[in-house]
C-alpha cells in the first residue's frame, strides 16, 4: 500500500492500464452515461439520501477508471468540468460497492486541510442492504483531497482512503461518520472508481 507523498508523482497521470471489463448497468432516468455500480435499487437509495436540491437533476459520469484510465490526476481534472454534489463510488474485487458524497470540483490542497459540509456521508453495500453513515458531529473531517490521496472521514482513521494509483484502498471505522468498515476487508483491491455528479445543468 503506497503512502501519502509530499510531491505529486507524475507517473500516475493518464495510465493506459485498464481494469478488466464489466458489463455496465443500463442507463437510468436522468443519467447521461452508464454506471458500473448504480442499479435501480441503489439509485432509489441515493435519491432518498442526497440533498433535496438534487432531486430530479441530471446524473453525469465525470470519471470512471474503466473509461478514462487509472489516474487520480484525471479524476481530479474531470471533477472540475461541472460543479455540484457528487458521489465518489468505488467497488472492490469481492463485489462490495461503497463511497461517499463529495462536492465537485475536487480541489487538492497542499496541506492536510479537510473539506466538505455536514451533508457529506459515506455508504456501503457490504452488509446486504445499502447502509448510510452520516456525520456524528464529533469533528468536521469530512473529506481530504490531496494530489496523491483522497480520503473520507478522519479522527484516528479514514472511512475510505484511495491512494494515487487507484488500484488499492483502505477502509476503517472513523470518528467523523461512526461507520464500520465499508469494504469486505480493511485493505482491498479496486475494481473501478467513479465520480457521478448531480447537477441542475440540462444536458
Task: Please determine, for residue 17, whether its predicted confidence score (pLDDT) is greater than 50.
Answer: no
The answer to whether residue 6 is domain-embedded is no
Q: Does 3 score more than 50 pLDDT?
A: no
Whether 131 is in a domain gets the answer: yes
Whether 14 has a pLDDT exceeding 80, the answer reads: no
The answer to whether position 1 is within a domain reads no
Does any domain span residue 12? no
For residue 21, tell me if it sits in a domain: no
Q: What share of the chain is helix, strand, coil (3-state, %, to 5)?
A: 15, 30, 55
Domain that holds residue 184: 29-199
CA distance 143 to 62: 19
Say if 3 falls within a structural domain. Answer: no
- What percent of the chain is predicted at pLDDT more than 90? 58
Whether residue 28 is predicted with pLDDT greater than 80 in this model: the reply is: no
d(CA 99, CA 159): 9
For residue 199, what is its C-alpha cell?
Answer: 447537477
Q: What is the pLDDT of residue 40?
A: 82
Which of 14-23, 101-110, 139-148 shows the lowest per-residue confidence on average (mean pLDDT)? 14-23
67-112-6-78 Cα dihedral, nearest 10 degrees:
20
Q: Left (φ > 0), alpha (ψ -120 to 50) or beta: where does 106 sit? A: beta
Distance between CA atoms of residues 137 and 111, nearest Å? 23
End-to-end CA distance of the chain: 39
Under the banding of pLDDT at 50, 70 and 90, the label for residue 19 is: very low
Residue 160 and residue 169 in contact, taking contact as beta carbons nearer than 8 Å: yes
Q: Which helix (H) or strand (E) holds 132?
A: strand 131-133
Residue 139 within a domain: yes
The answer to whether 37 touches 194, Cβ cutoff 8 Å, is: yes
Residue scoring higher pLDDT (101 or 8): 101
Does the model's pTM come out above 0.75? yes
Q: Is residue 9 part of a domain?
A: no
- Tell me the per-residue pLDDT of 120-139, one tens digit each, with 9 for 90 and over: 999 999 988 899 999 999 99
Number of domains in the chain: 1
Which residue from 132, 164, 159, 165 is spatially nearest to 145, judged by alpha carbons?
A: 164
What is the band of 148 on the pLDDT scale with cuts at 50, 70, 90? very high
Give the cell for residue 32. 447521461
| pLDDT reading at 170 higher than 90 | yes
More confident of the two residues 200 and 188: 188
* pLDDT score recorded for residue 30: 65
pLDDT band of residue 2 (cuts 50, 70, 90) is: very low
Amino acid at each position: 500500500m503506497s503512502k501519502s507523498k509530499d510531491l505529486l508523482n507524475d507517473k500516475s497521470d493518464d495510465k493506459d492500464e485498464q481494469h478488466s471489463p464489466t458489463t455496465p448497468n443500463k442507463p437510468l432516468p436522468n443519467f447521461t452515461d452508464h454506471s458500473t455500480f448504480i442499479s435501480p435499487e441503489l439509485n432509489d437509495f441515493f435519491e432518498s439520501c442526497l440533498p433535496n436540491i438534487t432531486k430530479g437533476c441530471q446524473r453525469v459520469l465525470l470519471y470512471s477508471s474503466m473509461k478514462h484510465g487509472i489516474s487520480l490526476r484525471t479524476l481530479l481534472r474531470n471533477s472540475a468540468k461541472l460543479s455540484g454534489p457528487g458521489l465518489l463510488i468505488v467497488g472492490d474485487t469481492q463485489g462490495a460497492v461503497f463511497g461517499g458524497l463529495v462536492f465537485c470540483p475536487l480541489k487538492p490542497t497542499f496541506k492536510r486541510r479537510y473539506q466538505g459540509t455536514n451533508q457529506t456521508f459515506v455508504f456501503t453495500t457490504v452488509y446486504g442492504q445499502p447502509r448510510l453513515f452520516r456525520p456524528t458531529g464529533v469533528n468536521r473531517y469530512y473529506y481530504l483531497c490531496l494530489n496523491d490521496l483522497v480520503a473520507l472521514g478522519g479522527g484516528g482513521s479514514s472511512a475510505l482512503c484511495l491512494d494515487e494509483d487507484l488500484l488499492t484502498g483502505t477502509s476503517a471505522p472513523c470518528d467523523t461518520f461512526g461507520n464500520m468498515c465499508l469494504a469486505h476487508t480493511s485493505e482491498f483491491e479496486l475494481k473501478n472508481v467513479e465520480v457521478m455528479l448531480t447537477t441542475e445543468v440540462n444536458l
